[in-house]
Amino acid sequence: MDFQTAEKRVLELHQLLNKYGYEYYVLDNPSVPDAEYDRLLQELTDLESQFPLLRTADSPTHRVGGAVLDMFNKVEHSSPMLSLGNAFNEQDLRDFDRRVRQAVGEDVSYVCELKIDGLAVSLKYDQGLFSHGATRGDGSIGEDITSNLRTIRSIPLRLQESVSLEVRGEAFMPKRSFEALNKSKLEKGEEPFANPRNAAAGSLRQLDPKIAASRNLDIFLYAIADPGDTGVTSHSEGLDYLEKLGFKTNPERRKAANIDEAIEFINSWVERRPNLPYEIDGIVIKVDSLEQQRQLGTTVKSPRWAIAFKFPAEEVVTTLKAIELNVGRTGVITPTAILEPVQVAGTTVQRASLHNEDLIREKDIKIGDQVVIKKAGDIIPEVVNVLADRRTGDEVEFFMPTQCPECESDLVRIEGEVALRCINPKCPAQIREGLIHFVSRGAMNIDGLGEKVVSQLFANKLIVDVADLYKLTKEQLFGLERMGEKSVSNLLNAIEVSKQNSLEKLLFGLGIRLVGAKAAKTLAQQFGSMEGLIDVTFEELIAINEIGDKMADSIVTYFESDEVRELIAELKAVGVNMDYKGPRPVAVEESNSFFAGKTVVLTGKLEQMSRPEAKEKIELLGGNVAGSVSKKTNLVVAGADAGSKLTKAESLGIEVWDEARLLEELNK
């Protein structure tokens, strides 16, 4: 076949495969057998192999996955992907409705949609062609997962119109795909996924797109990021427009003339949700009018024009087989219920926290009891109550030990606390948990040193304290399970890189009681180095706004320990950085900046910097950045599409700057 003939046939195959794919994956109404689709796809694959120039960005062959990626690049969203506020009962919904009507008037209608339990993603199209897609990430910056999203067959690679736009949706794994995947994993002796959401998220974060392609994911699109000049004036019109372009939207939606109709829609799905072929965890209610959405605006985290009603936690009955004790990093002994495995809200639950002995006594929990389990907020399993009337007499009362289950030291209960603690600083469990905390993302962030690897190193006596991590050798690591040459090299490199972390990472990693990540940064900024901090007094600490008496006492006590001082000296000797590397904030009384002592509110989209960057720069100059406008606000900086915060600032007579004026002041 010559090139021109092949080009013509490839175009025909594109049209046929796109048509058949749309019928099957979007309309759920196939017109040809699967075998015919597969035959045509194979023909296209062969032609593209023979004539590589004919493989275009919108080719249906992208659905089976491409080359393996090295890593995911970061992508900044054109507008933030905000999370939704939650409602848990009818009163929460009516309060939401009242706030909306107070802001925009009584003429309000809503759109009700199923809340898909999946992974929020953003898709960009240039002139009708799918160009790239990303995860939600932190709302401002996500990960580029374009290659994996191309494998989702319900995502059109070419739209019905040559438009450029960004759309938002929820990628998910249908129940059928989830069951098939877990069956395959069990047959291979692998750990199954806990629920479809985790499976979907894990599939979209695979570096090999062929793995994502094999997982049979799906998607529902639910919004246009910026309707712009589409002519769309309402959310419901936007959903219709998405369908017109060839996107898959969820048909189970309804316009509601008022909150009563919205509540009626919610109630209709409470019982029907198990019958769906995918998991949902609630209903989303949105103000339909885009103009009213604009008037309502957003908070830092969520839009004021939408709310997610979360379904009541599912409750099931199972047997409490045993109570296991865990020793935490701070020595707290936590009892955990070991349960007969049971499905709760789409997840297999085998464990539930019992928190402390007082709770066990209060709920009269015994080993062998039939217990009611639920997920609080559909996330954390907990024991609701015991079915005492089902007891047989074989149940066993549980008593907390008087000695640590790991090191056998006497346990103590500190005055004012309900928890039992092991206060032996050499307790193996505390040391192991402390090591796991030290290498975690929020602390020293040593890639490749997860909980299993740390536990393995500790069990083999290769590490006893955090300084030992920096003395590990290739020879020691080669002897461990699943540690090949590349893994060992990557791990040692990650350990070496972590030596250059700024001081606040080290302080948080050391696990000083009551000192979290924010307090660690405050200490690092205030004292500048470990040398400046190690001999700090109680009086010096409580003079810092963010540090109270209890934290100050904990810090002083920590650094008074000879063992701690020896550890810090050891870390310094192996090259771990002991200095703060970030910018130092200017004290208000020392600052000649305009922002010193002033309260500033940022609203709208900034073009030259992100809002977090602007916030950090203002705070470093002695300012305080608040999330809402009030009479105490001194300045509002309004970027593009500024909403209700700008309106309120103007009504209160508060000074308003644009981004150019902000940059001028910051650059002085």
* pLDDT single digits (tens) 305-333: 999 998 876 678 899 999 999 998 888 99
**Interhelix angle 34-50/3-21, nearest 10 degrees:** 150
Confidence of residue 642 (pLDDT cuts 50, 70, 90): confident
Distance CA 302, CA 286 (A): 12
Domain count, the chain: 6
Q: What is the mean pLDDT of residues 68-90?
A: 81
Kindly report the number of other CB atoms within 10 A of residue 645's CB atom: 24
Last-in-domain residue among 292, 310, 328: 310
The answer, yes or no, to whether residue 378 has pLDDT greater than 50, is no
- 220 with 246, same domain: the answer is yes
209 touches 146 (CB < 8 A): no
Q: What is the mean pLDDT of residues 359-380?
A: 82
What separation in angstroms does the CA of 349 have from each of 189, 274, 325, 382? Answer: 20, 18, 18, 10
Distance CA 454, CA 349 (A): 26
Is 310 known to be catalytic? no
Kindly report the number of other CB atoms within 10 A of residue 651's CB atom: 9
Pairing of strands 635-638, 655-657: parallel
Q: Is residue 452 part of a domain?
A: yes
Confidence of residue 631 (pLDDT cuts 50, 70, 90): confident
Alpha helices in 167-280 (DSSP H): 175-187, 196-204, 209-214, 235-245, 259-270
341 touches 119 (CB < 8 A): no
**What's phi and psi for 141, nearest 5 deg?**
-130, 125
Q: Looking at residue 336, what is its pLDDT?
A: 93
Please write the tens of the pLDDT for every residue from 539-558.
999 888 678 888 999 999 98
- 108 with 166, same domain: the answer is yes
Q: Looking at residue 64, what is its pLDDT?
A: 60
- 383 with 527, same domain: the answer is no
**What's phi and psi for 380, nearest 5 deg?**
-100, 120
543 touches 549 (CB < 8 A): no
Distance CA 657, CA 660 (A): 8
The answer, yes or no, to whether residue 197 has pLDDT greater than 90, is no
Q: Domain limits at 646? A: 588-666
Q: At 376, which CATH number?
A: 2.40.50.140
Please write the tens of the pLDDT for every residue from 577-627.
999 988 766 555 555 788 888 889 998 888 888 887 888 788 788 788 887
Place of tokens 């925009």: 104
Please write the tens of the pLDDT for every residue from 15-65.
888 888 777 666 657 677 766 777 888 888 889 888 988 888 788 887 665
- 511 with 473, same domain: the answer is no
Torsion of CA 44, 49, 53, 55, to 10 degrees: 40
The answer, yes or no, to whether residue 565 has pLDDT greater than 70, is yes
Pairing of strands 624-626, 635-638: unpaired
- 488 with 340, same domain: the answer is no
Distance CA 281, CA 270 (A): 10
Place of tokens 């689709």: 37
Closest residue by Cα to residue 384 from 358, 352, 414, 408? 352
Distance CA 300, CA 296 (A): 13
The answer, yes or no, to whether residue 113 has pLDDT greater than 60, is yes
- 592 with 557, same domain: the answer is no
166 touches 124 (CB < 8 A): yes
The answer, yes or no, to whether residue 479 has pLDDT greater than 80, is no
- 348 with 363, same domain: the answer is yes
The residue annotated as part of the active site, out of 8, 115, 471, 615, is: 115
The answer, yes or no, to whether residue 296 has pLDDT greater than 50, is yes
- 295 with 358, same domain: the answer is no
Alpha helices in 114-174 (DSSP H): 146-149
The answer, yes or no, to whether residue 421 has pLDDT greater than 60, is yes
- 230 with 330, same domain: the answer is no
436 touches 454 (CB < 8 A): yes
- Which burial class, exposed, middle or buried, applies to 137 when counting CB atoms under 10 A from its CB (0-12, 13-18, 19+)? middle
Q: Is residue 366 part of a domain?
A: yes
DSSP label at residue 74: E
Tokens of 5: 């003939």
Q: Looking at residue 346, what is its pLDDT?
A: 63
Query: What type of residue sits at position 639?
Result: G
Q: Looking at residue 491, what is its pLDDT?
A: 93
Q: What is the mean pLDDT of residues 237-247?
A: 96
- 528 with 620, same domain: the answer is no
The answer, yes or no, to whether residue 300 has pLDDT greater than 70, is no
Alpha helices in 22-162 (DSSP H): 34-50, 90-104, 146-149
Confidence of residue 289 (pLDDT cuts 50, 70, 90): very high
Query: What type of residue sits at position 433?
Result: E
Last-in-domain residue among 520, 548, 573: 573
- 182 with 279, same domain: the answer is yes
The answer, yes or no, to whether residue 356 has pLDDT greater than 80, is yes
Q: At 627, which CATH number?
A: 3.40.50.10190
